[in-house]
């Protein structure tokens, strides 16, 4: 048992030293400080039944990124005379045991809006308050406190970006300097009976060594995040002129964005510090882009989705989500698997899905292409199914943003122009006419002449032979004919929108079943036959 006052700093996200108000408060006036991370089996335990290596919640790329971030945090804590204490188990049980064992007087952790953490925090706060332990849980993962914004908006989250930006103005903390460095931390007290370990390796968690030919090129951790931030900020002109959604989705050797999203997701980089760096840069340049397209505008988008997600029950599903259109999506596992496993027969789509699986990351316009293709563009498969694949494979998968983007791209919420569809052939060609991106991620097509690389099924047999790639044998035929499939998707979206309007959003399961039946009866025979034949090569 430690004598003197002990604080426990519980790391979840917020895996950093800079701009970490919870850590700073935990270290103030404490004789002992216990910096803790709990390996949560819910998130980290290998799942042998999942469609790719990883746990039931996360692919191996993201787990590896998290472990790298924890190792970096550990080494940064060591420089301040401390270290990271890793424990394993159900977090609320582990934490409550440590609070008691170490006679902790103060528990500090960064506030988290995700439903999973909200439920966890209720358990931990309940135990702490019953034991007379002070709890400090500041908002520092986002620029604004979502609860404040919802309060200021009459108890509802603003549902458009413009209304959000108008409402929030400048962050109140931005007028005073952020605390970026800590000179030292209090020592760690005795561990008692709590089992402490070092940051585990992927193998120690029970994962087999993978013989993957290409890993995510992005390494986790605060040190890497700050280095990437410095490199981005040094490109003053590029930052000043940054304009989303422009940028080249096929640029993979040097991505056309900052690739800071995974560091923001895990809190290796403070969004507030990033925001301050951008504001300082904007003051020192002649002109710069503005929200929504600027880099600062991207941080505001992040806060917008966090706020809507926090204020919308069932935000992560269609049923019971009052801001989501009810649409009778296909329940077609074969099409879903073809998309997920890069077997759609559309090289642009398949190359993106391979980059996702190998790197755990792709450009936002590439994400738009494959999400549109799966849902309202071609396959008419439920956005929740696509969301699950992204949630698992992306290293920057963020609960609020991932769900928000899928709602957006499937035209289920936020964006309703369902007639605007990303072409699975001409969209990529615009950026990369030679198909270098496709050749890299789909080497089976690397000999295909550029005239045919986006639509290899149109290449004469002699060309296919010469390119050593016979369509239907070495690479699949397209799972749908894009022109007729997208027409059919538009027809279905129009009918679903009409039903939602007629029933003012109160669409029941039965209404959806009836509409699905009607849509299938009205489907043109050639589309129906095509769908039934399933041209998966």
Whats the size of the chain, residue-wise? 537
47 Cβ contact partners less than 8 Å away, ≥ 6 residues apart: 54, 55, 56
Q: Give the number of other Cβ atoms within 10 Å of residue 108's Cβ.
A: 27
Nearest-angstrom CA–CA distance, 95 and 36: 9
Binding residues: 257-261, 298-305, 396-398
Cα distance between residue 393 and residue 35, in whole Å: 29
Q: Tokens 């043109």 correspond to what residue?
A: 524
Phi, psi of 428 (to 5 degrees): -70, -35
Q: In whole angstroms, how far apart are CA 208 and each of 203, 321, 369, 394?
A: 6, 39, 33, 20
For 11, the 3-state DSSP assignment is strand
State the DSSP H helix or E strand holding residue 402, giving kind and residue range, or none if neither.
helix 399-409
Note the Cα 4 to chain centre separation in Å: 42
Using CA atoms, how far residue 278 sits from 215, 273, 274, 288, 435, in Å, is 31, 9, 6, 10, 34
- The region that residue 85 occupies, defined by phi over 0 for left and psi between -120 and 50 for alpha, beta otherwise, is beta
Instruction: Give the pair of three-digit tokens for residue 498.
Output: 């009409």
- Give the C-alpha separation, 325 to 118, whole Å: 26
How far apart CA 375 and CA 418 sit, in angstroms, is 10
First to last CA, the chain: 65
Is residue 10 within 8 A of residue 95, CB to CB? The reply is yes
φ/ψ of residue 432, rounded to 5: -140, 70
- Using a 10 angstrom Cβ sphere, with 0-12 exposed, 13-18 middle and 19 or more buried, the burial of residue 456 is buried
- Return binding residues for FAD: 257-261, 298-305, 396-398
Residue 242 has phi, psi (to 5 degrees) of -55, 130
Please, is 405 exposed, middle or buried when counting C-beta atoms within 10 Å of its C-beta (0-12, 13-18, 19+)?
Answer: buried
Please work out, in degrees rounded to the nearest 5, the angle formed at the alpha carbon of residue 212 by the alpha carbons of 209 and 217: 105
- CB of 81 closer than 8 Å to CB of 183: no
Q: What angle do CA 430, 245, 231 make, to 5 degrees?
A: 105
CA 280/CA 492 separation, integer angstroms: 48
Q: How many CA atoms lie within 13 A of 198 on its CB side?
A: 9
Q: What is the CA radius of gyration of the chain?
A: 25
Residue 142 and residue 400 in contact, taking contact as beta carbons nearer than 8 Å: no
Other residues' Cβ atoms within 10 Å of the Cβ of residue 498? 11
């Amino acid at each position: 048992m430690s004598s003197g006052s002990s604080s426990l700093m519980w790391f979840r996200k917020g895996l950093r030293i800079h701009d970490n108000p919870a850590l700073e408060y935990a270290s103030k006036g404490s004789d002992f400080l216990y910096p803790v991370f709990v390996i949560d089996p819910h998130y980290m335990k290998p799942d042998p039944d999942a469609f790719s290596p990883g746990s039931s919640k996360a692919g191996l790329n993201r787990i590896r990124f998290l472990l790298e971030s924890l190792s970096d945090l550990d080494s940064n804590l060591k420089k301040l005379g401390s270290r990271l204490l890793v424990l394993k188990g159900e977090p609320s049980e582990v934490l409550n045991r440590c609070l008691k064992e170490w006679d902790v007087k103060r528990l500090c952790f960064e506030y988290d809006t995700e439903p999973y953490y909200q439920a966890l925090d209720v358990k931990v706060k309940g135990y702490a308050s019953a034991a007379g332990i002070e709890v400090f849980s500041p908002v520092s993962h986002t620029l604004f406190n979502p609860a404040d914004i919802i309060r200021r908006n009459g108890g509802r989250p603003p549902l458009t970006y413009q209304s959000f930006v108008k409402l929030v103005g400048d962050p109140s903390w931005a007028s005073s300097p952020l605390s970026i460095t800590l000179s030292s931390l209090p020592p760690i007290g005795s561990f008692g009976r709590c089992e402490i370990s070092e940051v585990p390796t992927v193998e120690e968690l029970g994962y087999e060594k993978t013989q993957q030919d290409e890993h995510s090129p992005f390494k986790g951790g605060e040190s890497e995040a700050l280095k990437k931030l410095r490199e981005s900020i040094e490109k003053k002109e590029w930052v000043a002129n940054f304009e989303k959604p422009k940028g080249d989705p096929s640029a993979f050797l040097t991505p056309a964005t900052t690739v800071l999203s995974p560091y923001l997701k895990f809190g290796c980089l403070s969004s507030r510090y990033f925001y301050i760096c951008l504001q300082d840069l904007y003051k020192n340049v002649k002109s710069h882009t503005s929200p929504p397209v600027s880099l600062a505008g991207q941080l505001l988008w992040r806060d917008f989705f966090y706020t809507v997600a926090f204020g919308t029950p069932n935000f992560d599903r269609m049923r019971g989500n009052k801001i989501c259109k009810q649409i009778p999506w296909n329940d077609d596992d074969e099409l879903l698997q073809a998309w997920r496993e890069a077997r759609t027969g559309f090289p642009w789509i398949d190359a993106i899905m391979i980059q996702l699986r190998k790197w755990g990351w792709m450009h936002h316009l590439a994400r738009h292409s494959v999400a549109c293709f799966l849902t309202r563009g071609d396959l008419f498969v439920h956005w929740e199914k696509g969301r699950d694949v992204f949630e698992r494979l992306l290293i920057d998968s963020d609960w609020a943003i991932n769900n928000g983007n899928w709602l957006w791209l499937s035209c289920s919420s936020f964006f309703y122009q369902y007639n605007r569809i990303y072409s699975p052939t001409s969209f990529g060609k615009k950026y990369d006419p030679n198909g270098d991106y496709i050749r890299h991620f789909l080497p089976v097509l690397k000999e295909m002449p550029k005239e045919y690389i986006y639509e290899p099924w149109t290449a004469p047999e002699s060309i296919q032979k010469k390119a050593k790639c016979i369509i239907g044998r070495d690479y699949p035929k397209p799972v749908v004919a894009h022109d007729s499939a997208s027409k059919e998707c538009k027809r279905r979206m129009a009918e679903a929108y009409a039903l939602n309007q007629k029933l003012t959003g109160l669409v029941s399961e039965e209404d959806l079943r009836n509409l699905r039946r009607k849509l299938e009866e009205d489907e043109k025979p050639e589309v129906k036959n095509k769908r039934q034949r399933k041209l998966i090569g």
